[in-house]
Amino acid sequence: MWGVLWDLDGVLIDSAPWHLASWQWLAQRYGRTFPVSLFQETFGLPNGAILRRLFPERDLTDEDIRRLSEQKEAMYRTLVRAHLTWCPGAVELLEDLRRHGARQGLFTSTPRSNVVFIDEILGLSRYLEVILTGDDVPRGKPAPDGYAVLCQRLGLSPDRAVVIEDAPAGIEAAHAAGLRCIAVATTHPPERLGSADWVVRDLTELSARSIQAWLGA
């Protein structure tokens, strides 16, 4: 068996502008600013880590993080509903991998409420056997927990699977779990993704055969 472990935002779906807008809305609501530079530094991290950057002087409790996170994500879902689209080449690669017998799963820092919402619109679960979110593991990226658990759930050994990511924290999480990582330069420029094992412009540069040959599977 071999497989592909997917990230969601910036890899399968084009959602970054709407995440940025919802973070900026939340910041403005509390008299803060959320510059693009902070978004670029934190995109892909769990909401708790981002909120602690936004409110550095506050000792946020778990309940504070839950409440603020849901405010932000509710606005995100409102904003993105009319604009939610697959990234270029995503559906084609998902289908190609399925035809070639690859097992596929997803781990995202996005809360489960967002994943359920996205699945209802785009049908993620048609392609993905296992979907894990930041709500399902004790530590988010860059910790290895999510990708390690995903490998186990799919019955894959790390040497027979690859992670597809778009952010440095995700690459770090993949490597910490003993996995190789392909990075797509959709959210960050290629030079920020140099720690990945393979960097591509977008998913149109990949195919099931090229990934399988690269893995030696």
Would you give the DSSP letter of residue 189? -
Question: Which is nearest to 54 in space by CA: 82, 81, 18, 27?
Answer: 27
- The tokens describing 7, both together, are 């990230």
51 membership: H or E segment, kind and range: helix 47-54
Q: Which residues pair with 165 in a beta bridge?
A: 183
For 26, residues 6+ apart whose C-beta sits below 8 A from its C-beta are: 34, 54, 68, 71, 72, 75
What one-letter code names the amino acid at 92? Answer: E
**Within its chain, how far is the Cα of 205 from the centroid?**
19
Question: Which is nearest to 55 in space by CA: 31, 37, 71, 73?
Answer: 31
Catalytic, out of 7, 14, 145, 166: 7
Is 119 assigned a catalytic role? no
Is 7 assigned a catalytic role? yes
Q: Please say whether the beta carbons of 133 and 115 come within 8 A.
A: yes
- Grouping H, G, I as helix, E, B as strand and the rest as coil, residue 104 is strand
* Burial status of residue 202 (CB atoms within 10 A of its CB: 0-12, 13-18, 19 or more): middle
The residues annotated as belonging to the active site are 7, 9
